[in-house]
């Protein structure tokens, strides 16, 4: 079973790219982020014709998350992260697919920092940790997939000082990610590739894609109930180089 996470950065604008990738990669489950589409404008028909069932939560202009399942209909569990009734941003969705609970997470970027956006990022992380802990207590097979907007260590960003003030690599951001993983989650891509960069994001600015000036922001965390099934993991880098591409590439795992 192949499970992927992909920040599509506007699903309607990148729909040809997405459909082409679905045809070639044939993932069984896909967590999408940054739909930048309302619920009504989500391209359910085109995705259905490609052989995928879908659940989604859209938001006009910003955010938006979805879960796709090949030749199956995801069973929607929730469309928001618990813990803050006033949080209206479409950043979390959770579904059951083929015996596994899968999330699509679009964690807040947090810039500029310091400031309220960074505090929102850290608070969102706190809520995610509380929710994730419940899964571990229940001992169920879970994949926390998504764009976490954190490069967890120095090896997850190209050699540079230009991002030093960015929320993606702040000590507090990295500590929040580390503390989530420390609950007992397996960082699947880093587990399979302990020393390779495995970048998933290359900013459009400053020629960063041609220079391979990337960051690893997209992660798949596995609960102990499913971690032993991990056999492969990778990043579909070539997708980032296509015409009209998202600034992210799909990250994926294969489970036994």
Do 191 and 137 meet the contact criterion of CB atoms below 8 Å apart? no
For 230, the 3-state DSSP assignment is strand
For 193, the 3-state DSSP assignment is coil
Spatial separation of the C-alpha atoms in residues 3 and 1, rounded to whole Å: 7
**In this structure, how many other beta carbons lie within 10 angstroms of the beta carbon of residue 179?**
12
Predicted confidence (pLDDT) per residue in 37-71, tens digit: 999 999 999 999 999 999 999 999 999 999 999 99
Beta strands in the chain (DSSP E): 2-7, 29-33, 52-57, 65-70, 75-78, 92-97, 100-106, 142-147, 186-187, 218-222, 230-235, 251-255
2-255 sits in which CATH class? alpha beta
Hey, where are the domains in the chain?
2-255
0.75 cut: is pTM over it?
yes
Burial bucket for residue 24 (CB in 10 Å: 0-12, 13-18, 19+):
exposed
**Mean pLDDT, residues 163-172:** 98
Do 123 and 146 meet the contact criterion of CB atoms below 8 Å apart? no
Do 201 and 208 meet the contact criterion of CB atoms below 8 Å apart? no
Bridging pattern class, strands 100-106 and 186-187: unpaired
Predicted confidence (pLDDT) per residue in 72-87, tens digit: 999 999 999 999 999 9
Predicted confidence (pLDDT) per residue in 135-166, tens digit: 999 999 999 999 999 999 999 999 999 999 99
Identify the residue whose tokens are 């993932």. 27
Nearest CA among 1, 70, 53, 3 for reference residue 250: 3
Kindly write down the DSSP assignment for every residue of 70-120, as one continuous string: ETS--EEEESS-TT-TT-----EEEEEETTEEEEEEE-----SSSSHHHHH
- Report the run of H or E that residue 48 belongs to, with start and end: helix 44-49
Nearest CA among 230, 223, 253, 228 for reference residue 132: 223
State residue 182 phi and psi, 5-degree precision.
-65, -15
Predicted confidence (pLDDT) per residue in 10-38, tens digit: 999 999 999 999 999 999 999 999 999 99
């Amino acid at each position: 079973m192949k499970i992927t996470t992909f920040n599509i950065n506007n699903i309607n604008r990148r729909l040809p790219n997405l459909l082409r990738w679905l045809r070639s990669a044939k993932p069984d489950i896909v967590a999408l982020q940054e739909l930048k589409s309302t619920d009504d404008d989500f391209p359910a028909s085109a995705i259905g014709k490609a052989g995928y069932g879908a659940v989604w939560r859209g938001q006009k202009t910003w955010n938006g998350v979805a879960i796709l399942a090949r030749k199956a209909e995801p069973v929607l569990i929730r469309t928001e992260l618990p813990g803050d009734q006033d949080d209206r941003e479409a950043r979390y969705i959770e579904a059951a697919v083929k015996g596994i609970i899968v999330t699509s997470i679009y964690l807040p970027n947090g810039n500029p920092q310091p400031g309220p956006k960074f505090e929102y990022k850290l608070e969102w992380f706190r809520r995610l940790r509380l929710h994730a802990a419940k899964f571990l207590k229940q001992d169920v097979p879970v994949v926390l997939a998504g764009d976490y907007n954190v490069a967890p260590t120095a090896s997850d960003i190209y050699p540079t000082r230009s991002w030093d003030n960015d929320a993606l690599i702040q000590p507090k951001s990295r500590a929040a990610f580390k503390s989530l993983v420390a609950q007992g989650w397996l960082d699947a891509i880093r587990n399979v590739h302990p020393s390779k960069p495995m970048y998933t994001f290359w900013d459009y600015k400053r020629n960063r894609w041609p220079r391979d000036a990337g960051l690893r922001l997209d992660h798949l965390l596995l609960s102990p109930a499913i971690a032993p099934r991990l056999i492969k993991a990778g990043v579909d880098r070539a997708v980032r180089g296509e015409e009209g591409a998202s600034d992210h590439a799909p990250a994926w795992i294969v489970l036994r």
